[in-house]
Structure 1
């Protein structure tokens, strides 16, 4: 892909091995990208028949299971050299055929994916609120967490409102506030850990008749048990009815008797005044109850300590020139080791200002295995690499700073 991208950007000239191959490679600037092009090259440059080219395609698709590509080596290389192509070019074509066995796409598949990416990118750019709501309602996605989606949306000026039992539905929705021209995203009850869709449906139905005025009334009219109320209280979704989390949890226990959830129970008028949780405690409670927070990013509380160690935020690293030594630190949100990457691990670390992609070579993984696999908060010392808009930190040393989270340890457990 890199030669194609360089040619498309005008960084290197577009050349063709022959006029005949321009027919097959013209639309991709002289670089074979799609399976169909490999078949065309085999026909035009190596003398394959269409039937033999189709057998080659099948072998590319199945070589990892059955092998069989090596038997085409002489046929391709000799066929191309006999027709005037250099052996180096013929060898490179054969190596690309091996590569297609790992990741090659038919052109129709590539076009289908590209259309989805284009449409998604357009929506994210021009309708970011609707895009976020739709993504949240599609959870779990298998790659990005709700926390990552919300953090990214907030960095792009999307306003996100908390789940509230007096307003929220099961799904996240758009909500227009006053005279503002842009909608906000109201989080849905589906994001609350332990919330049942049936309970949410009863809440919506009862609220449509009359708005709730107390936790006890909510419990009776929506037929909620104590666990349902505690789920809502833990996520701070009862704040409009019962105050802060601690007060809401106290009221939830009294609102539903143990033996009869429909009894006409009343909350004791002598309910104590409970102090509001600290900011750190609220963040921990947010991650425990929803695996996300609408408050400050956890690393905002740790930034002064990180700066003392010269661990830079993501927005600062993005300004670094290629090759500069760099230090970054963030919550580990993604760990990947693709089968096609020859043992290389790819991490994503996040702070309030953005994400940093980290590359960890196999040799480094052996030296820092515990840090690579176990850290929630990871410091990365390495070199900064950038080419165009692609930027990443190549790790040379890893340090587990999870202990700095202290009371925020639950954040690290729930983040990735």
Structure 2
């Protein structure tokens, strides 16, 4: 890329250190990366999906467990006591991987560089900062103060003690953060309606209607609600519920594409997570597409891009036809056509990073 040697050496060191952390401490790395957002290239949704694919347990937002930032929790009940108890019986505070803090790394013993990395000992708990429209000062401080006194007993108890307004309660319900009280998100949303301080009657009136029997969200709907209200999902990738429909059209997933022979023809469809057109690339555009199994890199020559300009610039879910190039484990699809996939439902997306 024309870097001077000093720049290249510094970049190589950072890349090596980052790769080492991601390999040996994937849970800590993921938590730290999520708490450092926004920082550029990959969206939180992509970071979460990639972590899950690599064996990191990522837990959803939860008003009884989430802090404002993402945190680390022991991955099992047994580990919870081991990880939070110091020698001699003293309690250890919950590890948090905040920006600039090495506490979570120090809580884990060093893993040798050589050999297999150990499985994740911690799960990542998503922070309430990822629920859209929540304010740290206005909303989280109330939740934090009320929870410090005693655990919440119910959704009504949460509302009464935090005194959050109706809009915030609805958003928490839509994001699934009330799951400990009501696992059905539509039912939680129904219960949250009218619980805010502005809706309180002068005298408490017992409801005279039973809770409606709401249908639970199916897998696609649950992921869609997650993306709409928190821009990520710990429950699955948007394309996972659509895989059967994609397979019926002979559209492979990224893992299958990676195993195809060099020089073969391929048709693939995935979510666009980034578009790049370096100034030194003579008009060539590079895209990265993603599905529930990984990534596919796309090379688009200028003429192909111009022929499909609207799709190339704006599509969030894109189909590509082209020739596979595979060399030394690096796989690209050199596109000769772009198209809009035809599927029963439009998958949600967290957006893409384009032309930066």
Same fold (TM over 0.5): yes
* 1:318 Cα offset (Å): 0.8
Match of 1:253 in 2: 193
Aligned to 1:342: 282
Report Cα offsets for 1:301-337 as digits up to 9, x if no partner.
2222322332211111111222121221111111222
Alignment of 1:1-400 (within 5 A): 103-176=1-74, 177-180=76-79, 182-198=121-137, 199-258=139-198, 268=207, 270=209, 271-400=211-340
Bigger Cα displacement from structure 2, 291-300 vs 269-278: 269-278
Q: What is the deviation of 1:152?
A: 0.7
Q: Normalising by structure 1, report the TM-score.
A: 0.70
For the Cα contact (< 8 Å) 2:49–2:236, is it kept in 1? Answer: no
Q: Secondary structure at the match of 2:3?
A: coil
Counterpart secondary structure, 1:184 = strand
Q: Residue 382 of structure 1 aligns to a residue in which SS?
A: strand
Any idea what the Cα deviations from partners look like across 1:117-155, whole Å, max 9, x if unmatched? 111111100000000000110111221011111111111
Change (3 A) 1:370 1:385: same
- Which whole-Å CA distance do the structure 2 matches of 1:106 and 1:147 have between them? 34
Deviation for aligned residue 1:108 = 2.2
The worse-fitting range, judged by mean Cα deviation, of 306-315 and 251-260 is 251-260
Distance 1:211 1:264 in 2: 26
- What CA distance in whole angstroms lies between the structure 1 residues aligned with 2:327 and 2:175? 42
1:267/1:290 Cα in 2 relative to 1: closer, same or farther (>3 Å)?
Answer: farther
| In the alignment, structure 1 residue 404 sits paired with structure 2 residue 303 | no
Cα deviation for residue 239 of structure 1 reads 1.3
List gaps (5 residues or longer) in structure 1: 1-102
Residue matched to 2:107 = none
Q: Which has the higher helix share?
A: 1
Contact 1:234 1:249 in 2 (8 A): yes
Q: Which residue of 2 aligns with 1:99?
A: none
Shift of 1:389: 2.8
How many angstroms apart in 1 are the aligned matches of 2:183 and 2:328?
A: 50
TM-score normalised by L of structure 2: 0.81
Could you tell me how far apart the structure 1 residues matched to 2:242 and 2:134 are?
31
Distance 1:243 1:321 in 2: 45
Is the radius of gyration larger for structure 1 or structure 2?
1
Q: Distance in 1 between matches of 2:297 and 2:36?
A: 25
1:267 deviation in Å? 7.2
Rounded Cα–Cα distance in structure 2 between residues aligned with 1:142 and 1:384: 28
Report 1 or 2 for greater relative contact order, CA contacts < 8 Å, sequence distance ≥ 6: 2
Say if 1:173 and 1:185, in contact at 8 Å, map to a contact too. Answer: yes
TM-superposed CA distance for 1:156, in Å, is: 0.6
Separation in structure 1 between the aligned mates of residue 280 and residue 30 of structure 2, nearest angstrom = 31
Deviation readout 1:352-385 (Å, 9 max, x if unpaired): 1110000110000121112212322211111111
Q: Secondary structure at the match of 1:213?
A: coil
Q: CA RMSD in A?
A: 2.1
